[in-house]
Amino acid sequence: MKEIEASAITQAIAKLCQEANFTLGEDVLSALKQAHRTEQSPLGRETLNQIIENARIAREERLPLCQDCGTAVVFLEIGQDVHISDGDLYKAVEEGVRRGYHQGYLRKAMVSQPFSDRINTKDNTPAVIHSEIVHGDRLKIMVMPKGGGAENMSRMAMLLPNQGKKGIIDLVLKTVDEAGGNPCPPLIIGLGVGGTGEKAMLMAKKALLRRVGEPNPDPEIAQLEKEVLVRVNALGVGPMGFGGTTTALAVHAEVMPTHITSLPVAVNLQCHSARHKEIIL
Amino acid sequence: MNITSPISSKVIEELTVGTSVTISGVIYTARDAAHQRIIQSLDNGDKLPFELKGQTIYYMGPSPAPPGRVIGSAGPTTSRRMDSYTPRLLAAGIKAMIGKGSRSPEVREAIKQYKAVYLATTGGAGALLAKSVRQIETIAYEDLGAEAIMRLTVENFPAIVANDIYGGDLFEQGKAEYKRG
């Protein structure tokens, strides 16, 4: 049994919220630089150049990469041999988000009652927390500030089983094409297939945490990712929707078994400001 | 092309889809909540937060300014959230809008009709775009926080003409040019 103090979790989350907003991962940055080399549209290249330069300024000056500092999506992988002492785990997470967004001069974006009052909660809480019990005695915390522009363009569909692979690809293409410049391409596309409706979307979201371009270990799924990426980049949407050959940097798919009657497919779009940071306690 | 905001009618005639511009001068921030209130004021004949005629609106709500800075991160938000309000504001005299993403057919039509321009800039480049902001002053709807109306003085703010008075659309044209298969 390992003891982890709730206050250590708060501290870790506060730091991760800030680091994620100031520093773009080197995997994302190198994918953007690669895209800059291959993009055929001059305007597309100029746009990628601005995005790369923006990451440098944000890192060096500790300014948020984007004024939309996102919903704080927090993934917790809790070892079954971990005991949280001196406090409530979820409260510790919320307090970490509160402190991180305050200390980092991050924009607070959460509003109360989504279909009526919409009053800003002023501290970016509540966070969206996904927790999972895993083997071992460690606590892994991943913080993903998720911008609204890309999240708003996410889609899901309960396909008929006989729509198969073609149905999956068509849904992604339709989603990305209709979204155009709104979700701030070049995108990372999270694709969740199988399970149930809510599970498919969660898989799609979690797939975004993978290193950019790292294929699914299953060769058939990796092949699907590759095929979808080629087709998406043939749409012509391009960086910021201005036209070009780079609409997505990567497709990350997660797949699980499903019900005999079902083919749930979820597409979670991630903008080029693909922010997430993690720590293991 | 270097342009000054407010943008003159003569310059608007020269702005065609795909032209890169750098904007210097005065622009006003407004997002959906502020748009809603401006429309209410127009409906009720109340005093407007600023004289709309000829002005430029930037769809932006910045992150808080850290100590010693003019502004935090300051990139564009998705323009389509403003689409339902935009024709009314163009009729009231707004001449230019800066944001990200494409506009509705109604907005594109209104841009032609009222001889205005829509400029797109790079979403998620808020740290870079903040460098062009020299001065900031909240002038209305302070209770909206980041969504209040602010008067910005900008210098060499980069953008690209996305919808012009001739009916051109950067997003459609760009996609058509690079679409394969």
pLDDT digits (tens, 9 = 90+) for A117-138: 899 999 999 999 999 999 999 9
CATH fold, domain B2-178, is fumarase (3.20.130)
- Give A100's Cβ-side CA count (13 Å radius): 34
Taking the C-alpha atoms of residue A72 and residue A199, their distance in angstroms, rounded to an integer, is 19
Q: How many helices (H) and strands (E) does chain A have?
A: 8, 10
- Which DSSP string corresponds to chain B? -EEEESPPHHHHHH--TT-EEEEEEEEEE--HHHHHHHHHHHHHTPPPSS--TT-EEE---PPPPPTT-S-S--PPPBGGGGTTTHHHHHHTT--EEEEBS---HHHHHHHHHTT-EEEE--TT-HHHHHTTEEEEEEEE-GGGGGGSEEEEEEEEEEEEEEE-TT--BHHHHHHHHH---
pLDDT score recorded for residue B137 = 97
- Give A76's Cβ-side CA count (13 Å radius): 24
Average pLDDT, chain A: 98
Taking the C-alpha atoms of residue B89 and residue B92, their distance in angstroms, rounded to an integer, is 5
Report residues of chain B scoring pLDDT below 70.
Answer: none
Tokens of residue A224, six digits = 């699907």
**Which residues lie closer than 8 Å to A33 by C-beta, 6 or more apart?**
A52
List the beta strands (DSSP E) in chain A: 2-5, 71-79, 82-85, 128-134, 139-146, 155-159, 187-195, 248-258, 263-270, 277-280
Nearest alpha-carbon partner for A69 in A275, A280, A279, A277: A275
Average pLDDT, chain B: 97
CA distance readout (Å), A48 to A38, A43, A113: 11, 9, 37
Mutate to test the interface with A, among B16, B22, B63, B161 (most CBs of A within 10 A): B63
One-letter identity of residue A43: L
Residue B106 CB neighbour total at 10 angstroms:
12
Q: Which residues of A touch B63 (CB under 8 A)?
A: 63-64, 67, 69, 105-107
- Mean pLDDT, residues A104-125: 95
pLDDT score recorded for residue A247 = 98
Q: Which residues of B touch A241 (CB under 8 A)?
A: 101-102, 120, 171, 174-175
pLDDT in tens, A260-275: 999 999 999 999 999 9
pLDDT in tens, A219-231: 999 999 999 999 9
**Which residues lie closer than 8 Å to B136 by C-beta, 6 or more apart?**
B62, B65, B70, B71, B150, B151, B152, B153
State how far residue A70 is from chain B, nearest Cα, in angstroms.
Answer: 11
CA distance readout (Å), A218 to A5, A206, A215, A243, A256: 38, 17, 8, 33, 11
Question: Is B133 in the A-facing interface, judged by CB distances under 8 Å?
Answer: no
Q: How confident is the model at residue A96 (pLDDT cuts 50, 70, 90)?
A: very high
pLDDT score recorded for residue A36 = 98
- Structure-derived torsion over alpha carbons of residues A57, A62, A65, A71, reported in degrees to the nearest 10: 180
Taking the C-alpha atoms of residue A153 and residue A93, their distance in angstroms, rounded to an integer, is 27
Could you tell me which residues are beta bridge partners of residue B78? B100
Instruction: Kindly tell me if the per-residue pLDDT of A180 is higher than 90.
Output: yes
pLDDT in tens, B119-170: 999 999 999 999 999 999 999 999 998 999 999 999 999 999 999 999 999 9
Residue A26 CB neighbour total at 10 angstroms:
11
Could you tell me which residues are beta bridge partners of residue B159? B21
CA distance readout (Å), B170 to A199, A202, B108: 38, 34, 11
- Mean pLDDT, residues A236-258: 98
pLDDT score recorded for residue B181 = 72
Q: How many interchain CB pairs under 8 A, A with B?
A: 162
Length of chain A: 281
Flag if A66 and B75 touch (Cβ within 8 Å): yes
